[in-house]
Structure 1
């Protein structure tokens, strides 16, 4: 199989068809698009979990797993309370690496107002670079739960955040020394200053307060995959203007250097939303300091159309994430920044 998330076809054939056990307390049936598990713990009260896994050689790797899991709770209208973490270390890892990784995870918890409730770590020859698994937990009222499946035809599509930003930052973490030979120090510093733009809890809260019922965090495969997955989850079509997708110039420069497609680059912190009044939603998001723009509209057709100037094309099924392709091409050499 190809690197990255398995395809929806494989998931349905080799995962979904093997699942037969059901309990009435479990609200969501597993799907390739759903990022959370939801259990009713009492009348009107839900316990919600979101899982994320990230691998890399940088001590900052766990930040992106934590951010992804926390954001996935937030886009479901859930207030996160705690994180549990499992760290798989390579045999050449040092205790100082583990200490730094834990410190990075704690910094995310401090920013998000959640507790790092459990951390387990082990050294194993089964991995060639550190793998970090994060589960974010929270609670929600049943009538406040949001889902990407609630998107309806005839709504505006709003993008909050920047496409490809997570992938750019992760490559920076892995290759800072190399990039320092390509770009001037001021440009590298600009890239680092964008690290605070991937945790999107305030933006998700603002969207929920504005009446948004459907949000979807862009993940592996980038914004193109996120648009496809949102449409699949809701059973809708899309009509999107490519120029509406916000991509930082820093991401563009890095992608040109490594020959990557920013629209297919992992994008934690980048959230798709649907609303009747996209302009009002954009203003609500801007009031909390988020970057937001209208991309297009949802439709009652099956077609997922992307327009660029006078050119139109249909959105393809998700391709492997460009970060995974980058890892394969570079061999995952350990070039941790000092």
Structure 2
């Protein structure tokens, strides 16, 4: 199997088909495109999501916290706590381990989230720290946003841009390789500032307050993957409007030099939102200080892409562009 998260067909065959959904209080069970489970606990809803960080080294604790809490935000909830699992190699010293945990605690506290506990283990089965975080959130019953709530005809928007997390990881972990491939220091410095854009909590709050019912965090697989997962969760097709894509100049430079597609690059910090045309989401965000860009629309059936004015069938790439980069330059080690 390819490195990276399982693709939809394999995920369904290997994992999801083994899970029984039999409890009436589980409102959103495990499913393709649904990153969070939702549980009815009476007066409110409990939202739960788990995520690992495996493709980053520097600032991995910060990324882990924000990525997991972004899934909670995409479900229309407010995160309040996290459980942390750390699998650490024996070579990692006590100081490095303490610094990693402090980074996790500090990152969570900035979001108003408390570390509730977890598990820490030293194992020679890993070569670098593996961080897995389970985030817990609370939602009012009227504010739930499920990926499967998207409808045919909905317009698709992303916040901030594309390739945000992926380009940050590339610049943060592989700056010398980027320079060697002709990426300018200015572009590297520019995307390093994306660290301040990795939370989608602000746009999630604004979107759900204005009636958006379907959102999805743009993680592995980038914009392509997020659109495909949302459509799959809602049993719909999609049209990707690539001619509308507006990647940041520095992301374009990095991806061009490394022969990567920014729309297929992991992009935590971007939120995919589906809204009916009459909602006019662009007007909602106009004075918010958060940029949004139209990237497509949902269809009753069929998967298509429009590029240079030409519409063609679309097939999702096999893996995220970050993994393509790592495999090309470092093999499977």
TM-score, structure 1 normalization: 0.90
Residue 232 of structure 1 aligns with which residue? 232
SS of the equivalent of 1:172 reads helix
- 5+ long unaligned stretches in structure 1: none
Give the whole-Å Cα distance in 2 for the aligned partners of 1:223 and 1:118: 33
SS of the equivalent of 2:224 reads helix
> How far off is 1:143 after superposition?
2.8
**1:278–1:294 Cα contact (<8 Å) kept:** no
- Output one character per residue of 1:284-322: Cα deviation in whole Å (capped at 9) or x when no partner: 23433212012233222x112211122222221342111
**2:77–2:139 Cα contact (<8 Å) kept:** yes
Residue 115 of structure 1 aligns with which residue? 114
Give the whole-Å Cα distance in 2 for the aligned partners of 1:189 and 1:279: 37
Residue 41 of structure 2 aligns with which residue? 41
Residue 252 of structure 2 aligns with which residue? 252
Residue 313 of structure 2 aligns with which residue? 314
- Deviates most, 45-54 or 116-125: 116-125
**2:81–2:135 Cα contact (<8 Å) kept:** yes
> How far off is 1:174 after superposition?
1.2
**2:86–2:130 Cα contact (<8 Å) kept:** yes
**1:153–1:236 Cα contact (<8 Å) kept:** yes
How do residues 18-167 of structure 1 correspond to structure 2 at under 5 angstroms? 18-20=18-20, 22-42=22-42, 44-56=43-55, 58-118=57-117, 120-167=119-166
SS of the equivalent of 2:295 reads strand
Provide the aligned length of Structure 1 versus Structure 2.
332
Distance 1:21 1:229, change over 3 A: closer
- Deviates most, 14-23 or 126-135: 14-23
> How far off is 1:333 after superposition?
10
Residue 325 of structure 2 aligns with which residue? 326
Residue 173 of structure 1 aligns with which residue? 172
SS of the equivalent of 1:173 reads helix
SS of the equivalent of 1:34 reads coil
- Output one character per residue of 1:26-57: Cα deviation in whole Å (capped at 9) or x when no partner: 22232122101222222x42211111111246
Give the whole-Å Cα distance in 1 for the aligned partners of 2:147 and 2:35: 10
**2:172–2:192 Cα contact (<8 Å) kept:** no
- Output one character per residue of 1:102-135: Cα deviation in whole Å (capped at 9) or x when no partner: 2332332233121122254322111122211011
